[in-house]
Structure 1
Amino acid sequence: MNVWGGMLLFISIGAANKTMPDEQTRKMWMEIDFQIINGLISAIIIGLTPWRIRDLYQLYQKKYRDELLRRHKYTKNFIWIQVIIWSSIVNSIFQVGVAICTWSTNMNNRPTRLVGILGGISLISGVFAALAQFILGRRTKKKAKMVEQSNSIV
């Protein structure tokens, strides 16, 4: 993914002008790079969708809440789990929107603003869910470490 992202960056800033002298070649390679990156990201995000839907289902079924809380060990706060699960669902929905927009139209009449907005919302919601899990997990590990240290002192 880094190779395609780097190539996209070099073409965008004009560093590849000597190897690709005409504009049409640059546009074609930008489109190829964009489609490969979009495909890789979509495969990951859309591939995680069944587990996200399972979490959403278990979120609203009382008999599965204990299992859900056990699986999301980073917090015992049910509201944070709801926010993280819904952020992940929003990430999946908007990534599907990006995939539909980019794969159903050609590069000349693609709604670029719509793709940008959908991609931005998908990115923001995914980053929010990941950061929340990371911060809450770190906080939980610190609490567990402090409890372990206090137990070893006593």
Structure 2
Amino acid sequence: MDVRSIANSSLTEYQPTPSYNTKSPEDTWQNKLRKFFRWTCTPMGACITIYGLNIVAWGGMLFLLMCNAAPAMCHPSCDSLESPRRIWIEIDSQILNALFCVTGFGLAPWRIRDFYRWCCWRLARSDASRRNALARLAEIHQNWFLQSEEPELPRNSKQSQTKRATPTPRWKMDLVVWGNLLNSLLQVCLAVFMWAFNRFNRPSWATGLFVGLACAVAGLAGITMWLEKKRVQKASEHPGALLLIPRATDPAILGGSADYTPVDNKP
């Protein structure tokens, strides 16, 4: 047997196979919990945490009242407008409406800005204006939207069919922009019904309808951004294990080199 083949077989036999499924220590739930607690200590994290806890607390109380979880509050009856149950339902509804207005009205300027950029992207006449508007939107939402570095190509071109890679689909940007804008518009409708009418003459369908629609469009946009952000982060952290070449498959070892001199096989 050739000496070179013996050396190659021995290297292949004793070379440990690299594992690409090793879990990083940063992915453990203990580290994630520590990061979350450190984030809650920041001003932005503390405000968001308090805001979320208020929504959960007042929303949970409203749910329990709607389910008649406190029969002692049904006096003289559960459906009486003068009963403590109906009074606290109105109080909870007004508090939740005010909490929803914080995000619906507070984020409205940025959502209108995104909608303006979206209009320039989708409705502009020149290609340069559309590309600039999309580039600006991608820069604003760079934490979850991954734009292709190549210019837009015709659909029937071969290059556009072969280079389908990791960039985020454009319809997700449409979904996020319109979802955020509709959330603010539906919040305006909810605030009008909550503040222009009292609990005696307000339509019973208005509160549930606008709250449900506003939460649905905001949740759809938020879930889309969250899933796409996870996909982009995963692609950036693990670009591909095929780029790692084990030592046993190194061309300098398998193919030999000019400096390689075989050793005599002494008995």
Superposition TM-score tier, normalisation by shorter sequence: 0.7 to 0.9
**Which whole-Å CA distance do the structure 1 matches of 2:212 and 2:59 have between them?**
17
1:1-154 alignment runs, 5 A limit: 1=54, 2-18=56-72, 20-22=73-75, 23=77, 24-61=83-120, 62=129, 63-73=132-142, 74-75=144-145, 76=147, 77-147=169-239, 153=244
TM-score (norm. length: structure 1): 0.86
Aligned CA distance change for structure 1 residues 21 and 86 (closer, same or farther; 3 Å)? closer
| Residue-by-residue CA offset, 1:75-115 (whole Å, 9 max, x unaligned) | 32333212210111111111111111111101122112133
Moved over 6 A (4+): none
Q: Which amino acid aligns with 2:231?
A: R
TM-score (norm. length: structure 2): 0.52
Aligned CA distance change for structure 1 residues 39 and 150 (closer, same or farther; 3 Å)? farther
Q: Which amino acid aligns with 1:111?
A: P
Q: Which amino acid aligns with 2:113?
A: R
**Which whole-Å CA distance do the structure 2 matches of 1:11 and 1:141 have between them?**
42
Q: Which has the higher helix share?
A: 1
Aligned CA distance change for structure 1 residues 21 and 119 (closer, same or farther; 3 Å)? closer
Q: How many corresponding residue pairs? A: 152
Gaps spanning 5+ residues in structure 1: where?
none
**Higher Cα radius of gyration:** 2
Identity of aligned residues (%): 29
SS at match of 1:60: helix
SS at match of 1:147: coil
Q: Which amino acid aligns with 1:139?
A: R
**Which whole-Å CA distance do the structure 2 matches of 1:97 and 1:29 have between them?**
22
Aligned CA distance change for structure 1 residues 110 and 150 (closer, same or farther; 3 Å)? farther
**Offset of residue 6 of structure 1:** 2.9
**Which whole-Å CA distance do the structure 2 matches of 1:148 and 1:70 have between them?**
26
Aligned CA distance change for structure 1 residues 28 and 91 (closer, same or farther; 3 Å)? same
Aligned CA distance change for structure 1 residues 107 and 136 (closer, same or farther; 3 Å)? same
For the 8 Å contact 1:11–1:17, the answer to whether it is kept is no
**Which whole-Å CA distance do the structure 2 matches of 1:45 and 1:12 have between them?**
25
